[in-house]
């Protein structure tokens, strides 16, 4: 089973309880991936908090310059 359509067909064939278990499994995997995601610039992806402002970015950049 390697294509999305094959996986979808297999999921459709599952009994209700196993579909629910699959959903719990997939939701946990998605949470793990979301929690470790980073943006293209390497900043952590917001987890429901307010996104970075330009002031935040300037503060982070200046802190990085001081560390060098």
Give tens-digit pLDDT for 6-64: 999 999 999 999 999 999 999 988 887 776 666 677 776 666 667 778 888 888 888 87
Q: Is 16 exposed, middle or buried (0-12, 13-18, 19+ CB in 10 A)?
A: exposed
Cα–Cα distance, 39 to 3 (Å, whole number): 28
Rg (CA), the chain: 20
Query: Are the CB atoms for 40 and 52 separated by under 8 Å?
Result: no
pLDDT at 1: 72
């Amino acid at each position: 089973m390697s294509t999305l359509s094959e996986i979808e067909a297999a999921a459709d064939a599952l009994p209700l309880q196993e579909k629910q278990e699959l959903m719990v499994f997939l939701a946990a995997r998605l949470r793990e991936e979301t929690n470790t995601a980073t943006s293209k610039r390497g900043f952590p992806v917001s987890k429901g908090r307010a996104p970075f402002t330009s002031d935040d970015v300037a503060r982070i950049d200046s802190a990085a310059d001081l560390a060098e």
